[in-house]
Amino acid sequence: MTSLAPALRHSGTSSDVTDVDDTDGWLSLSEAAVQLEISLDAVRRRMRRGDFPKRQVRTRHGMAWQVKLTPAEPGASLLPTLVPIVEVQPTVQALLECVRDRDRQRDVELVQLREDLARARQPGRSGAAARAGSGAVAGLAGAG
């Protein structure tokens, strides 16, 4: 039976390999995903990008990556990696009410334009009166 010899540690490189005994603040990628409330793939991307200190450890199942949820650079913050929770319901309701008001206004304008068009098309109106009525219809159509 062979024993696992302790490995050398190198800060910030992908060759960081250690035994699983030393867990001082180190988390598996799945544990980090749960804490950050993001997917496992997102944790992997951020680890590769260098957002977290990382290391590789020997486990009974083979090699595994671990991260520390502290910024890789001193003075940096993990806050930009977290998604803020925003209340959108009041904004959506206000937008919906605005759209409904605009639709009501356009419905009223449409009825008025149809009445103006019907009057302009009535037989027996003089040519000048018909042209004046169609000019009003064109003016109203251009205003919308």
pLDDT digits (tens, 9 = 90+) for 124-134: 765 555 555 55
- 30-64 pLDDT, tens digit each: 998 888 888 999 999 998 888 888 899 998 989 99
What are 99's two structure tokens? 């759209």
- Specify the pairing of strand 17-19 against strand 54-59: parallel
Strand partners, 7: none
Kindly report the pTM of this predicted structure: 0.39
Distance (Å, rounded) from C-alpha 37 to C-alpha 32? 8
Distance (Å, rounded) from C-alpha 11 to C-alpha 53? 8
- Residue 25 corresponds to which amino acid? G
How do the domains of the chain map onto residue ranges? 1-71, 89-143
- How far from 120 is each of 15, 48, 63, 107, 139, CA to CA, in Å? 85, 72, 84, 20, 14
Distance (Å, rounded) from C-alpha 14 to C-alpha 67? 12
Strands of the 17-19 sheet, one edge to the other: 17-19, 54-59, 62-68, 26-28
- Average per-residue pLDDT for the chain: 73
First-to-final CA distance of the chain: 85
Q: 56 and 64 in contact (C-beta within 8 Å)?
A: yes
Cα–Cα nearest to 29, from 5, 2, 55, 60? 55
Poorest-pLDDT segment among 3-7, 13-17, 18-22: 3-7
